[in-house]
Amino acid sequence: MVVPPPGTPDAAAEARRRKRSVAISLVLVAGAGTAALVLAGLDPSQKEEDALVYENPAACAAQGLRSAEACTTDHAAALAAYASSAPRYRTLDECRGHHGPDGCVAGETVVADAAGFFVPVMAAYLLGRTVEQALPPQPLYRHADEATGGGGGYCTGAGGRVFAARGGGATHVASRVARATPSSPRTVTSGGFGATGRAFSSASGSRSGGFGGG
């Protein structure tokens, strides 16, 4: 680019153009930063919850992050949610394909009206790090390991993904996952939960779409 000699009208015009470009760039950058902050504040999917994941109340109480009473009470609530909302598969192979070879049982062993279906085993439960969070306790199901086409970790009844250290303990979970609690069982009609799920129906009607994430 040819730069006009200093002191000429063209040089003065070029200087003014550069100043305007810098000012506009600064406004755009500042605006983008503000928008990002606003979106992060409004979008629940950008927030995380401090959560706890345990296989049973004894493991929860042993770590001492919540009282033994809270561990037992929340486990009972998760068990109740398991019976009322565990996802259902029409075949054992479909269930095992997502939850692993030892991850499924006959539906009637969990609740009578699930007879004829297969449901995942409740492998663990999720509860809030503190009672003040008012995080609803919920059952967690094993997600098939990478070797069998899954992504490992756990999934919720709504299809959200949860990862925790071996043996359980404190973890961070997206708020939209931790607070999404299905009120009725979903019948998986193709694929599965998490990264592989595509379609399902609920006891109160049909719906379809992506389920969970990889």
CB distance 119 to 104 below 8 Å: yes
Take residue 207 and report the two structure tokens written for it: 């719906």
* Per-residue confidence in pLDDT tens, the chain, 214 aa: 555 565 665 666 666 666 555 443 433 334 444 433 333 344 555 699 999 999 999 999 999 999 999 999 999 999 999 999 999 999 999 999 999 999 999 999 999 999 999 999 999 999 999 999 999 999 999 998 865 666 789 999 998 999 988 778 999 999 999 999 888 888 887 654 554 333 333 333 333 333 334 3
Euclidean distance between CA atoms 104 and 120, whole angstroms: 4
